[in-house]
Structure 1
Amino acid sequence: MIRYEELRADIDCYLMERFKYRKSLIRLTVDNIITIRKNSRVDLYLRIRKVKSKFPPDCLIIARLSFTKERVGHGTHFIRFLTKVARKYGFYHIGIECANAKSGAFAKKLGFYSIDGENYAIAVTNLIAYFSME
């Protein structure tokens, strides 16, 4: 649980720096879900899963991620950040849960594979390769 609290703090620092927040917005629930307090710029709900489910084991699952300003690079920037964090904390996959048309297209652009038509996953090593090609 201590490592998850460190992960929460890293995500909090990232969002505070990227979106110029002055105080902490991120919290970790008892069932290992990272959420952000209601605010005007970002909506985040991230599941931490070490065991296999419909997603591979050792997966950070984005259940909800949205930004007030769309199509300006926030999503790609966050996935790049999450890739580094996943590697640091021993996660081997990143998933996107219940993707709509926009997030499904975004996932495919980054190389995520479809698990069942609405859920996507990718190995962190594949994201590292993708971002090193840019």
Structure 2
Amino acid sequence: MIEYEELKNDIERYLMERFKYRKSLVSLTIDNVIATRRNSCIDLYLRIRKVESLFPPDCLIIARLGFSKERIGHGTQFLRFLTEVALKYGFRYIGIECANMKSGAFAKKLGFCSIDGENFTIAVNNLMNYFSME
């Protein structure tokens, strides 16, 4: 749980710097979910999974990610950041849960593979390769 608290703190620092927040937005639940309080700029719900489920083990699963301003790079920058954080904490995969049309297209653009048509996953190393080629 302490490791997850550090992960939460890294995400909180990133969001505070990127979106110029002064107060804490991010919380960690007892069932290992990192979430932001509802606000006007960002909506994040991130599941931490070390065991296999629909997603592979050692996976950070984006259950919800939304920004008030779309198509200006917030999602790509967050995924780049999440890739670095995943490496730091030993996660081997990043997943996107219950993707809608927009998030599914975004996942495919970044090289995620579909699990079942609405859930996607990618190895962190593959995502690193994608970002290194940009």
State TM-score, norm by structure 1: 1.00
Deviation at 1:18? 0.2
Using the TM superposition, give the Cα deviation of residue 14 of structure 1 relative to its aligned residue in structure 2, in angstroms: 0.2
Read off the aligned partner of 1:65 and give its amino acid letter.
L
Distance in 2 (alpha carbons) for counterparts of 1:126 and 1:4: 23
Q: Which runs of 5+ in 1 are unaligned?
A: none
Whole-angstrom distance in 2 between the partners of 1:129 and 1:44: 25
Shift of residue 24 of structure 1? 0.9
Structure 2 distance, partners of 1:34, 1:76, is: 19
Write out per-residue CA displacement over residues 37-70 of structure 1, whole angstroms, 9 at most, x where no aligned residue: 1111000000000000010000000000000000
The one-letter amino acid paired with 2:30 is: V
2:86 — aligned with what? 86
- Distance in 1, Cα, partners of 2:38 & 2:132: 33
How many residues of Structure 1 are paired with residues of Structure 2 in the alignment?
134
Identity %: 76
Q: In structure 2, give the amino acid aligned to 1:31.
A: D
Question: Alignment partner of 1:98: what SS?
Answer: coil
Superposed CA RMSD: 0.3
Q: Which runs of 4+ in 1 moved over 6 A?
A: none
Amino acid at match of 2:81: F
**Code of the aligned partner of 1:80:** R
Task: Kindly provide the CA deviation profile for residues 7-46 of structure 1, in whole angstroms up to 9, marking residues without a partner as x.
Answer: 0000000000000000111000000000001111000000
Paired residue type of 1:44: L
Q: Give the Cα–Cα distance (whole angstroms) in 1 for the partners of residues 82 and 11 of structure 2.
A: 8
